[in-house]
Amino acid sequence: MKIVLAYSGGLDTSVLLSWIKEAYDAEMIAFCADIGQAEELKGLEAKAKRTGASKIYIDGKGNDQVRFELTAAALAPDLQVIAPWRDERFRKAFPGRQQMIKYCKRREIPVQASAKKPFSMDRNLLHISYEAGILEDPWMDAGNKKYHGSFTTLSVFPEDAPNKPEFVTIDFKKGNAVAVNGKALSPLGVMKALNKLGGKHGVGRVDMVENRYVGMKSRGVYETPGGAILHFAHRQMESITMDREVMHLRDSLVPKYSELVYYGFWYSPERLALQSLVEESQKNVTGTVRVKLYKGNIMVAGRKSPVSLYNPRIATMEADPTKAYNQDDATGFIRLNALRLKVAAKVQRKK
């Protein structure tokens, strides 16, 4: 029997690799997707084989049981899924992370988690997340100086950032970032550059309590410096290039799109349908945004586009040289919109 384990080399999968091999008397094949974990991939092959894998493939994550299994259902519906956390034998052996840490210690399996650092970390190109252990107390301040070395993998605390702001330009073409500070880059290059710049200035640090699909609330601490800059700059680019009604429609669908991705429905027909609308909305999102980074903050410092819908001659507070906007036109517009309010006010007055 061969079993493929989605393997990261962290505490959970290190225990699973050894435990599943014994519990199922199976040949273990470890798989890890390279999605920007950087140094976390170093030594992973040797560690996996030392822990019990016959082979390891690193290619280039899913997050929880729902996302993994929904993806498997969409791409390989006949695949059998083994989920140890739903196996009573596993839960009895490992009721908590402390038992898993002790298990790794007995078997000399190297993991970053320890009794003094009992929380999990999950890293990819976009971010690193921390959860569980000491973070399960929502009153615990992860920004306290005593945790200086615990939650600063990709960024510094804002108070430790440089005292001088830094300006960064990002070029967009049809919604995609294609250059940073005038240098053309691949999507991977863009994220790496923005992660470095944002991390230096302590931006993109988030401490939040989220609602999981299975019904519980979960507290997590995140570092996403590059993603925070990219999101902010992209919205600024849209502000001068996207039609108002298109933006309103797209924004109304953002919660649904986010929910589908978070819940694991990436390959669902409804997500693919929404994707078509998103791509259509981005066809004119082209130009350059300049941002200022300073002690955890991202501030806009300029935006320009060859297809900008912003016309300063029309928007001016002075006399409009284009005559595109006639102040007299507002009279009828306001009268029509006020009609229902006047009718309701008169009805209420009679009560």
Mean pLDDT of 221-246: 97
CA distance 240 to 314: 14
Confidence of residue 312 (pLDDT cuts 50, 70, 90): confident
- The pLDDT, as a whole number, for residue 61 is 41
Closest C-alpha to 239, from 285, 283, 203: 285
- Residues ≥6 apart with Cβ < 8 Å to 291: 167, 168, 169, 170, 229, 232, 233, 236, 298, 299, 300, 301
**How does DSSP classify residue 54?**
E
- The pLDDT, as a whole number, for residue 62 is 37
In the block, residue with structure tokens 């140094």: 39
Predicted TM-score (pTM) of this structure: 0.83
CA dihedral 255, 256, 257, 258 (to 10 degrees): 50
Mean pLDDT of 280-299: 98
- The pLDDT, as a whole number, for residue 69 is 87
- The pLDDT, as a whole number, for residue 273 is 97
- The pLDDT, as a whole number, for residue 138 is 94
| Residue predicted with more confidence, 21 or 42 | 21
Query: What confidence tens digit (pLDDT) does each residue in 32-87 have?
Result: 888 887 777 888 888 999 899 998 887 754 346 788 888 889 999 998 888 888 88
| Residue predicted with more confidence, 216 or 196 | 196
- The pLDDT, as a whole number, for residue 309 is 94
Domain boundaries 2-118, corresponding CATH code? 3.40.50.620
How far, CA to CA in Å, does 272 sit from each of 199, 266, 313?
33, 8, 40
- What is the radius of gyration, based on Cα positions, of the chain? 26
In the block, residue with structure tokens 């999507």: 187
How far, CA to CA in Å, does 291 sit from each of 155, 286, 288, 295, 311?
18, 16, 10, 13, 21
In DSSP notation, 66-132 reads HHHHHHHHHH-TT-----GGG-HHHHHH-SSHHHHHHHHHHTT---S-BTTB--EEEE-SS-EEEES
Computed over every residue of the chain, the mean pLDDT equals 90
Tally of CB atoms within 10 A around 2: 9
Write down the CATH superfamily of domain 128-242+284-304.
Argininosuccinate synthetase, chain A, domain 2 (3.90.1260.10)
For residue 336, pLDDT over 60 is answered with yes
Q: What percent of the chain has pLDDT over 70?
A: 95
For residue 139, pLDDT over 70 is answered with yes
For residue 169, pLDDT over 60 is answered with yes
Confidence of residue 222 (pLDDT cuts 50, 70, 90): very high
Question: Cβ(134)–Cβ(121) under 8 Å?
Answer: no
